Amino acid sequence: MTSDALMNNYGKRPLSLVKGEGAWVWDDNGKRYLDALAGIAVCGLGHAHPAVTEAIHRQSENLVHCSNLYNIPAQERLAEQLKTVSGMTNMFFSNSGAEANEAAIKLARLHGHSKNIDVPTIIVMENSFHGRTLATLTATGNRKVHAGFKPLVRGFARAPFDDLEAVHAIAANNDSIAAILVEPIQGEGGIRIPDDDYLIQLRNICDANDWLLMLDEIQTANGRTGSFFHYQQHNIRPDVVTIAKGLGNGMPIGTCLASGPASQLMQPGSHGSTFGGNPVACAAAEATIATIDKDKLCQRADELGTLLLEQFRDTLTGCDMVKEIRGRGLMIGIELTEPCSELVGQAADAGLLINVTANNVIRLLPPLIFSDDQARQLISTLVPLIKAFSPEG
Ligand SMILES: *Cc1c(COP(=O)(O)O)cnc(C)c1O
């Protein structure tokens, strides 16, 4: 079905998906696809996971919504669970990633004003992605995302990604900086992985200048890169971290987590959301985190990701079209030398869902429950398509 009653912002959508189970989805013609995208890093436990379905069912039988005017037990349980997993101390719940980042941006402004900075400014990176609201699209380092939406929001300064000198230079010349907002690995930007000591050094710069280190882990967290949060692989703790995507395994929920002074900046009335921290979304997230822990899915993402990277590197050596293969856990990018968005349709024809981002990077974000067999099928379907795509192939 194709309805013209929708705005045209997503362009033409090629498939109508109507059912899912684990790493499989079916379209309205009954054709089956191996899902190596998981709704863009959302359904980490796969589709229709029984623990999440059961949590949604149970909560929706009792109370779907009651407002943040009241205590919401499922929200408080989720906050405690996230506290244990993250080492952060205080949470704000939103419905999406962009809204979690909006909360972070507001924390940076409160932090700046507490130091009498008139125009608190956040350092953001080139090639980044932080969302589609006005503040988060301004933070995003991509002209296509800005196009048509000026005037943008004040209070952002831009540095190249993975460039510490640039951040030092801004520190030396701008006394309005309140925070740095950065993805530990750029997702939409093409699975770009910074130098190993980048996050640690950013932590040091923030400490030296009394800036907040704010990590956008909306794509990298929830087990995807081999630990629940990516920062845990670098032995640092941010002041603020945002998550969403995989948190509710498909239920819309995001969180802005804070620790230290940043966790005390919000006061009654300073922020809110009608639906944020809704009982059903929180129950789904609770079940998702418990399952990631119980089934050791962070470890699984780490091991399977390492194996997939090796196998892609082995099978694609000598393919001139392939510029670089990189990834952490089950966040994998295969950069080609040419734009390659046609591969998405070719893969779907072959029964495989993938994505291409930043024009020429094949992005793979399979569910964390991907089996060894499914990994083999991913390789055996995708590699020939990439080889055929190469003019030399
Ligand atoms: C997807 C994403 C967002 C935006 O999340 P929405 O839920 O679409 O608002 C922000 N930052 C990063 C890193 C993302 O991957």
Expressed in angstroms and rounded, the spacing between residue 97 Cα and the centre of ligand 1 is: 5
Residue 144 has pLDDT above 90, yes or no: yes
Separation of 327 CA from ligand 1 center, angstroms? 18
Average pLDDT, the chain: 97
Q: Give me the pLDDT at residue 12, please.
A: 84
Asked whether the predicted pLDDT for residue 392 surpasses 80, the reply is no
Name 249's bridge partners: 251
256, two tokens: 């802005």
Amino acid at 3: S
- Please tell me the distance from the alpha carbon of residue 209 to that of residue 13, in angstroms, as a whole number: 47
Six-digit token pair at 170? 């801004």
pLDDT surpasses 90 at 13: no
Q: Which of 129, 114, 121, 117 is nearest to 242 (CA)?
A: 129
The domain spans of the chain are: 8-49+296-389, 50-294
Ligand 1 atom nearest to 40, measured from its CA: 1
Residue 391 in this model has a pLDDT that exceeds 70: no
Whether the per-residue pLDDT at 153 is higher than 70: the answer is: yes
Check whether 112 has a pLDDT greater than 80.
yes
At 1, the pLDDT band (50, 70, 90 cuts) reads low
How many percent of the chain have pLDDT more than 70? 99
Q: Report residue 123 CA to chain centroid gap.
A: 19
CA 246 to ligand 1 centroid distance, Å:
11
pLDDT digits (tens, 9 = 90+) for 19-60: 999 999 999 999 999 999 999 999 999 999 999 999 999 999
Tell which atom from ligand 1 comes closest to the C-alpha of 252: 7
- Residue 211 backbone phi and psi in degrees, to 5: -100, 155
Residue 170 has pLDDT above 50, yes or no: yes
- As a whole number of angstroms, the distance between CA 114 and CA 178 comes to 10
Distance, CA 129 to ligand 1 centroid (Å)?
Answer: 7
> Is a pLDDT exceeding 80 seen at residue 174?
yes
* Whole-angstrom distance, CA of residue 231 vs CA of residue 167: 19
Give the C-alpha separation, 105 to 363, whole Å.
Answer: 28
| Residue count of the chain | 393
Give the CA diameter of the chain: 63
Report the C-alpha gap between 196 and 191 in whole angstroms.
15
CA–centroid distance, 393 to ligand 1, in Å, is 35
d(CA 249, CA 202): 31
pLDDT on residue 4:
86
What is the pLDDT at residue 390? Answer: 66
- What pLDDT score was predicted for residue 22? 98
User: From residue 335, how far is each of 187, 320, 363 by CA, in Å?
Assistant: 13, 11, 9
By the 8 A CB rule, do 209 and 179 touch?
Answer: no
Classify residue 311 by burial, with Cβ atoms within 10 Å: 0-12, 13-18, 19+.
middle
Ligand 1 pocket mutation pick from 105, 219, 331 by most atoms within 8 angstroms of CB: 219
Mean pLDDT lowest among 13-17, 90-94, 189-193, 380-384: 13-17
Q: Could you tell me the distance, in angstroms and rounded to a whole number, from the CA of residue 266 to the centre of ligand 1?
A: 23
Q: Whose CA is nearest to atom 6 of ligand 1?
A: 97
pLDDT per position as a tens digit, 304-333 = 999 999 999 999 999 999 999 999 999 999
Fold match flag (8-49+296-389 vs 50-294): no
Q: Give the CATH number of domain 50-294; options: 3.40.50.10150, 3.30.160.270, 3.90.580.10, 3.40.640.10.
A: 3.40.640.10
Please write the tens of the pLDDT for every residue from 203-252.
999 999 999 999 999 999 999 999 999 999 999 999 999 999 999 999 99
**What's phi and psi for 18, nearest 5 deg?**
-125, -10
3-state SS string over the chain? CCCCCCCHHHCCCCCCEEEEEECEEEECCCCEEEECCHHHHCCCCCECCHHHHHHHHHHHHHCCCCCCCCCCHHHHHHHHHHHHHHCCCEEEEECCHHHHHHHHHHHHHHHHHHCCCCCCEEEEECCCCCCCCHHHHHHCCCHHHHCCCCCCCCCEEEECCCCHHHHHHHHHHCCCEEEEEECCCECCCCCECCCCCHHHHHHHHHHHHCCEEEEECCCCCCCCCCCCCHHHHHCCCCCEEEECHHHHECECCEEEEECHHHHHCCCCCCCCCCCCCCHHHHHHHHHHHHHHHHCCHHHHHHHHHHHHHHHHHHHHCCCCCEEEEEEECCEEEEEECCCCCHHHHHHHHCCEECEEECCCEEEECCCCCCCHHHHHHHHHHHHHHHHHHCCCC
Q: Best of 193, 241, 245 to mutate for ligand 1, by most ligand atoms within 8 A of CB?
A: 245
Query: Which residues sit with their C-beta closer than 6 Å to ligand 1?
Result: 96-98, 101, 129-131, 183, 187-188, 216, 218-219, 244-245
**Residue in this structure with the two tokens 């959301």, named with its chain if needed:** 273
Instruction: Name residues whose C-beta falls within 8 Å of residue 56's C-beta, 6 or more positions apart in sequence.
Output: 251, 280, 283, 284
Q: Domain 8-49+296-389: give its CATH code.
A: 3.90.1150.10
